[in-house]
Amino acid sequence: MLVHRGWRWYLVAWDRGRSGWRTFRVDRLRLGGGHGAHFVAREPPDEDILAYVRRGIREASARLRARVVVHAPAEMIIPRVPPDVLVEAADDEHCIVHVAAPRPETMALYLGLLDADFRVTEPPELVAHLQKLAARYARSTGSM
C-alpha cells in the first residue's frame, strides 16, 4: 500500500525477512531482480494506513518526548499541531501537549509555533535548550 504524507511517499509492506509489517520511504527503495516468492495477500496492519504510517514516523524519529502544559485551551491548540500529536484538555484554560522530536532544537521550534505560553520541566536537554534560546532572544532585543 502506498501512502502520501507531507512531501514523501511511503510503502507499507510485509517484510518476509522480519515476518512483520514495515514502512519504507519510496525515495529510498531500489529496484531488485524480482527473485523469491510471489505476492501473498495479507490483512493490512491497521484500518487507517495513514495513521499507521504517522505513528511509525513519529516513533522512529522521536528520540525526545515531552509532556508540555500549554496555557491555552485544547480547542485553540489542536488546529496548530499535526493530527498525530496528542493534545489533552486539562481545564478550560490549559491543555497538555505530548511532543516528540529527534532533537531539542526541533522540539523547541514546534513549541514556539504553538503561539501560546507553556511550561516544560523535562527532558533536561529541552529545558537547557529553551533556557539558551530565552537568553539569546533577550540579548537580541537588548533586554539583557
Predicted pLDDT at 117:
97
Domain shared by 71 and 136, yes or no = yes
Whether residue 104 is predicted with pLDDT greater than 90 in this model: the reply is yes
d(CA 13, CA 1): 7
Q: Are 119 and 96 in contact (CB under 8 A)?
A: no
Residue type, 55: R
Helix, coil or strand: residue 133: helix
pLDDT, tens digit, 9 for 90 and up, residues 23-74: 888 888 877 766 666 777 888 888 888 788 877 776 666 678 899 999 999 9
Helix, coil or strand: residue 84: coil
The residue segments making up the domain with residue 44 are 2-53
d(CA 92, CA 56): 32
Domain shared by 109 and 43, yes or no = no
69-78, 82-91, 106-115: least confident range: 82-91
Helix, coil or strand: residue 19: coil
Number of domains in the chain: 2
Domain shared by 68 and 37, yes or no = no
